Structure 1
């Protein structure tokens, strides 16, 4: 029996009450997650409505990517090899591609929502914030983990696209080397300022939508000159990263999502 078939199930209990089984269908983990069948997406085993409560049984993971990061931080596990980083990122990106190919976006890609199973493979879980790509205007503001938010999200955009998932994946790629979030701050605006400081401030010509967002919120975009390519800035920040990986990371961490 394969580990996939032998995996035990865990129940994810929603705290809120539902008036009927039909009302549960608005939850992304009911309407979206079961539609994305892929090796790198956590599998729904059963959905149960009982006494106005919703339960979702899923495959049981060993731990999360955040747990793995923590074991390396405290020294109980060796740092990631290039091969391991490549394998883990392939798992994550394959999962994200599967979500986007079904015309959905996850909207909360971060290490705590990346699950690790007994075969060392990673799978994306927690679809509670997932949305349909086709909706041009979001019904609510982005609520994903702050350190993994794309620039347009830190400025309060409600017109974001699946590009926010790619930016978050870039943040995770950097974290494999840094062992801490590449952008850290207490507020969304401070995260944006950290992004400008590390990546260099984009010009208004390069990202007009960003400047419009900032103006609408009476926010002055901080100026950090880009005197060298973003990939070079990343190599200075992460000495262990290869030129090829730094180039890829610079493309994932673009300010302009278009």
Structure 2
């Protein structure tokens, strides 16, 4: 067993082992409390890498079986700055956000630039550099791979699955937005999915930031197909509404089987958006970036989403309506995540008998309302008040949420689907 001691002024560093079968023990900090813990893991293998670093899958020892599988995200740690991703991940705790189990630091391993073996070594890692390792719960699939699976089968994703994925994504965004966090990289690849339960987890907070009013932000953020138009216009005072635009792009992609705005550059991306939504008005441009108000754009009429030229024939009107409300040029005109959760599209999730349909789709369990995160004393109100949503007109719901003093609590009580189960429960 490889044991690694403290060096560098007490920071516990550990080196990944070349043998994936070998047990590695590291001194780490608990993700929630920061207390020192020892983690032992084995069966370590590379499952992804990029400019951010590398991600490994491993099996943790000495924990309950359902917690054994872990992912370890290893990123270069700049000694001059705190790691924003770590800071944010220690703040968040939600059923639809990937869980940070622990974190520790390690030194790089200088190896040749040959093929990366099925071990915990990455040729990008440099010796004597310090790396931050985030120990995360392992979730086997992504919404992206699920979408590609249906594309290969030449079949659309069932509407009920789209509703389940979108509701859980909105649920995660409503939570992080309520504490001021903007994810800034919403895309299908960052939506982890447990195929046996249907539970979705938002991951990769490497681009996330707590937005402060009046504080400028970089505009070159978010993956291209999912970038909000205000980012393309170079806005630096944007809000969490950029995540809402990205969410609309994800939903459209699930409905279409391909990206709605597949631009190859920033300008090309804007052209693709204008092709569908039409040319933005001067007023809309002002809300995105007033510096472009005098710019001359080609005048193109929008394509109504209700026509088959954009989406498949016989696409449900509720789906088209929600996508349209998420993909608004004016950032403040987009539905918030909480408002979108209450859209009629998700009423089916609130009906008796829906669970049986989900079971037939091999989604043996689905997270339900926000029962898991409600304050003590509120849970008792859920059963009695939840049914009110289906009797309310959508416009009334919208206005009620806009004016409510605590919309997060209101939605959690009244508008959550009837799909709650204990965390460890599964349908037969």
Higher RCO (C-alpha under 8 Å, 6+ residues apart): 1
Q: Which position in structure 2 is the counterpart of 1:113? A: 190
Q: TM-score, normalization: structure 2?
A: 0.54
Shift of 1:213: 3.7
CA RMSD of aligned residues (A): 2.3
Cα pair 1:18 1:54 within 8 Å, conserved: no
Alpha-carbon spacing, 1:160–1:190, altered in 2? closer, same or farther (3 Å): same
SS in 2 for 1:49: strand
Q: Which position in structure 2 is the counterpart of 1:42? A: 98
Shift of 1:79: 2.5
- How does 1:174-193 map onto structure 2 within 5 Å? 174-193=252-271
Shift of 1:134: 1.9
Per-residue displacement from partner, 1:204-246 (whole Å, max 9, x unpaired)?
1344234634358xx54332124x7x4435x541124212221
Give the number of the structure whose residues are more often strand, by fraction.
Answer: 2
Q: Which position in structure 1 is the counterpart of 2:299? A: 223
Shift of 1:7: 5.0
SS in 2 for 1:32: helix
Cα pair 1:193 1:222 within 8 Å, conserved: no
Q: Which position in structure 1 is the counterpart of 2:163? A: 86
Give the number of the structure whose residues are more often helix, by fraction.
Answer: 1
Alpha-carbon spacing, 1:41–1:67, altered in 2? closer, same or farther (3 Å): same
Q: Which position in structure 1 is the counterpart of 2:87? A: 31
State the alpha-carbon separation in 2 of the partners of residues 4 and 35 from structure 1.
Answer: 26
State the alpha-carbon separation in 2 of the partners of residues 140 and 55 from structure 1.
Answer: 25
- How does 1:85-234 map onto structure 2 within 5 Å? 85-117=162-194, 118-210=196-288, 212-214=290-292, 220-226=296-302, 230-232=304-306
Cα pair 1:151 1:255 within 8 Å, conserved: yes
Q: TM-score, normalization: structure 1?
A: 0.87
Unaligned runs of 5+ in 2: 1-63, 108-129, 333-428
Which residue among 331, 334, 342 is the counterpart of 1:257? 331
Cα pair 2:230 2:289 within 8 Å, conserved: no
- How many residues are aligned here? 245
Per-residue displacement from partner, 1:11-41 (whole Å, max 9, x unpaired)?
1000x24338xx4xx3232111221111000
| Greater mean alpha carbon deviation, residues 50-59 or residues 105-114 | 50-59
| Greater mean alpha carbon deviation, residues 104-113 or residues 133-142 | 133-142
